[in-house]
Amino acid sequence: MLEGILLGLSSAFSVTNLLMVVGGCLIGTFIGMLPGLGPMSIIAIMIPVAITLGDPSAALILLAGVYYGAIFGGSTSSILINAPGVASTVATSFDGYPLTRQGKAGKALTVAAIASFSGGTIGAVLLMVFAPMLASVALLFHSAEYFALMVVGLSAIAAFAGTGQVAKAMLMTLLGLVMATVGEGALFNQPRFTMGILDLQSGFGFITLAMAMFALPEAIFLILDPARSKTGTSGEIKDLRITREEAKSIAPVIGRQSVQGFLIGVLPGAGATIASFLGYAVERNIASKEEQEQFGKGSVKGLAAPEAANNAACTGSFVPLLTLGIPGSGTTAILLGALIALNVTPGPRLMVDAPEIFWAVIISMYIGNVVLLILNLPLIPYIAKVLTVPRTYLIPFILFFTLMGAYIGQNNSTELLILVGFGICATVLRFADYPLAPLLIGFILGRMLEDNFARSMQLYDGIGFILERPMTLGLLLLAVVLVVLPAYRARRARLRAEGVADGD
């Protein structure tokens, strides 16, 4: 391993490669901040640039830098304007945006930067040590387990909802799944539920839906209630420091979530989105009662957990890509395409045939994380200047960016009408206190969930796979427990409130 590290160091510390890291992180951060442009679209856009470089290590380093930058930039817009451009930063907005509204945007960005840095660095260490081992673990998972794992992920979202909200969160998740079935599925070449509308043939666009669920209702709320945009910050980000107690409270969270996020990231199909939501749910459940109250209202723990987890998971998603040649997520799938265009075939032989590429990428992950940290901490006050823009200017621009995001993705103006329509629906749902994040997660996972379900059904010729594979059964039982537990706990709490004695 040592000669590998040395090889990587010599390759990564060349002037061009260092420039690639810095440039990639910068481009990623700034474009990632714009709502609607997630890592996937940015990397796709950067591929022609990377390919013209000609050197596979430099290209992969550039794209990896863009990837981290975009994830960090996405967190920034989640925190500052509640417009997550990327699914994996949706969980960041749960506690990041309330902090901004309390005038603690600087602190929120600092916590996010530190958590991202730690998550990414710990992830890179784990990648280096465990890449070969973890690859064999991922091989044990079949489509049946992936199906079950996604069901667990979706049920865990019910845990966000809190007491009395489980059914609403469930309904929203299911509605997301329903929306994911619209259009042509991968397994069946048959359009479904399109109601004869040609534009629905390819299904709803993820970016359109994300805009409609988050950015647009937020903008409408800002219009309806002018007092909302008075966040208490005049854009002056003074409070960058975090206190010793806060640092102490988030350190274990970051440690746990970096490891957990990395492990989830390794599993193909799981990735940063599930890692961030699961990380949030886990930290929320193991936090003390008083701290649990804070979640969703601006808890630093609730912010650090998804940030550490999603960065660690990004690193983790490189494991199946580099060791098996299987992309675990949309982003790594695009990276795979770029590598093949550069005449490199990732897979088990990569470490043997082209060790300099493998190690250069790993070393560049460390450099990328350091660059992001030193780049972003001093830049935070400037980034947060977004807040000083008066609302008369800010709101039309937010509306315009939601429109642009939806349009660029599909190049289709019907998409814009769908955006406005869903935006209005989402606003009404928010009036009635329905959680919107589960809908989007259900939508993102819906297609993968169905594909894996279909594959296991075909392999086992029916529903029998649930009983034949103990791991699947175990995961599905866990999912049931996750859904039932909050209802049971609420019932006990109510009984206790009514003065009925209970067991413990």
Partner 1 sequence: MALDRWIALIILIICAAYGYTAFFTMDGGLPPFMQRNPIWPSTFPKVIAALAIIASVIILFRLEKGTGEEKAPEINYRRLTDYKLGQALFLLGLMVAYALLLRPAGFLLSTSVFLLAGFYTLGERKYHVMIPVALIATVGIWYLVQEVLGIFLSPWPSFMLGGA
Note the residue count of the chain.
504
**Cβ contacts of 502 within 8 Å, gap of 6 or more:** 492, 495, 496
Residue 408 beta carbon to partner 1: minimum distance, rounded to whole angstroms: 6
**Binding residues for partner 1 restricted to 312-331, rule: CB under 8 A:** none
Residues 218-247 contacting partner 1, CB under 8 A: 220-221, 223-226
Return the closest-CA partner of residue 169 out of 156, 153, 158, 154: 158
Per CB under 8 A, contacts with partner 1 among 420-439 are: 420, 423-424, 428-434
Question: 457 Cβ partners below 8 Å, 6+ apart?
Answer: 463, 465
By the rule CB under 8 A, 400 interacts with partner 1: yes
Query: Should residue 408 be labelled a site residue for partner 1 when binding is judged by CB under 8 A?
Result: yes
Where in 136-175 is the site for partner 1 (CB under 8 A)? 163-168, 170-171, 174-175
In the list 181, 202, 231, 410, the residue contacting partner 1 (rule: CB under 8 A) is 181
488 scored as a contact of partner 1 (CB under 8 A): no
Binding mask 362-391 for partner 1 (x = CB under 8 A): ----------------------------xx
Q: Does 466 bind partner 1 (CB under 8 A)?
A: no
Among 53, 135, 178, 473, binds partner 1 (CB under 8 A): 178
Rg (CA), the chain: 22
Name the minimum Å distance from CB 225 to partner 1.
6
* Closest C-alpha among 275, 251, 250 to residue 262: 275
Least CB distance to partner 1 at residue 247 (A): 31
Please name the residues in contact with 399: beta carbons below 8 A apart, sequence gap of 6 or more: 216, 219
Per-residue tokens: 278: 């699961």
Count the site residues for partner 1 by CB under 8 A: 71
Q: Restricting to residues 468-487, name those near partner 1 by CB under 8 A.
A: 487
Contacts for 431 with CB less than 8 Å, ≥ 6 apart: none
Secondary structure of 474-495 as H, E, C letters = HHHHHHHHHHHHHHHHHHHHHH
Can you say how many angstroms the Cα of residue 237 is from the centroid of all Cα atoms in its chain? 26
Please identify, using beta-carbon distances, which residue of 9 and 404 lies nearer to partner 1: 404
Taking CB under 8 A as the criterion, the residue among 6, 192, 286, 349 binding partner 1 is 192
Closest by Cα among 77, 486, 487, 492 to 292: 486
**Smallest separation (angstroms) from partner 1 to the CB of 88:** 22
Report the nearest approach of partner 1 to the CB of residue 189 (Å): 10
